[in-house]
Structure 1
Amino acid sequence: MTSARGAKRMHVRRAQERDVDDILRLLVEVNMVHHAIRPDLFKGPATKYDARELLAKLDDDKEPIFVCVDENDALLGYIFCQVEVTEESELRHGIRTLYIDDLCVDERVRGMHVGRSLYEHVLDYARRNRFHNVTLHVWGGNDAALRFYRKMGMTDQFICLEQVL
């Protein structure tokens, strides 16, 4: 796939051990976006996983991680997913959801459709594996992310409100 700007070819694959350092770097980028929006909640700069924790996740099919790489296998972005299961009950249908826990595109390659490639890969993965839906959360104030996900076709499932005291 070639970007709209005629840049490098890219493809999406499962994350591997050789990707860990770049993923950790991008985790800091995501943290700093959240820190800028909500410094009352997010410290910065930091990552939510260390290298050891990240390595443990690489082969976990309940928490698949995909990366978008260029033709030289340089990491352009990642998407972390989690399998969520709602058990059948008197109230609810039993369903399997693929939750997007985190998506980051390296700030140096934004606008090259890396996010779209990652998101569409996850949709295909979810369809192939017979998930009912794909969900995610967007922090209030992260307007660019909200616009992106709406452009991808996502709609509100529910809205979480707060009042900071």
Structure 2
Amino acid sequence: MIRRAQSKDLETILDLLLQVNLVHHKGRPDIFNVGTKYTKEQLEELIKNDLNPIFVAEEEGKVLGYAFCQTQQHIGDNILTDIKSLYVDDLCVDEKARGKHVGTKLIDYVKSFAKDNGYYNVTLNVWACNESAMKFYEKNGFECLKLGMEMKL
């Protein structure tokens, strides 16, 4: 079952945030410290925000994964059209639940939510060091929109 996150999910979401951070830390320790992206207090506020929903995948009362989403729209921008995008800021499936298609169910739910609520598209970013995530998103219909590049000095 996919549903909106609730306060009762905070501890599990924090554990999952640490799991996803460790993937990034292992891939780019020069950029990512070990920790979580949000504090418990920040998560409490995010859960209440209707423009930026957090969805969780739940099985038998246990949260197996999440998708943090953000509404993005550039009304009155000089060059960008005012399309409304749903940006997936973060997605994680508990390492113990991988292979059960939880991630696909979350992405399908996010796409359905976006379509039902008048969004033009669903967007996200993937770190180049996370090849499995890139393959997962491509398998689920995502295409490259833009590339971020760097030159280490």
So what's the TM-score if we normalise by structure 1?
0.90
1:23 aligns with 2:13: yes
Give me the whole-angstrom Cα distance separating, in 1, the residues matched to 2:56 and 2:127.
22
* Gaps in structure 2 of 5+ consecutive residues: none
Q: Report SS of the residue matched to 1:144.
A: helix
Deviations 1:54-104 (A, max 9, x none): 01111201210000000x210100000001112244533211110000000
For residue 142 of structure 1, what is the amino acid of its counterpart? N
Q: Does the Cα contact within 8 Å between 2:56 and 2:63 map onto a contact in 1?
A: yes
Deviations 1:6-61 (A, max 9, x none): xxxxx1000001100000000000110000010000001x0011111101111201
In the alignment, what sits opposite 1:93? 81
| Aligned-residue identity in percent | 43
In the alignment, what sits opposite 1:140? 128
Deviations 1:90-122 (A, max 9, x none): 533211110000000000010000000100000
1:43 aligns with 2:33: yes
Change (3 A) 1:37 1:132: same
Deviations 1:117-155 (A, max 9, x none): 100000000001100110000001100000000000000
Residue of 32, 35, 58 corresponding to 2:22 = 32
So what's the TM-score if we normalise by structure 2?
0.97
Change (3 A) 1:47 1:89: closer
Q: Once superposed, what is the RMSD of the aligned Cα atoms?
A: 1.0
* Gaps in structure 1 of 5+ consecutive residues: 1-10
- Count of residues in Structure 1 that have an aligned counterpart in Structure 2: 153
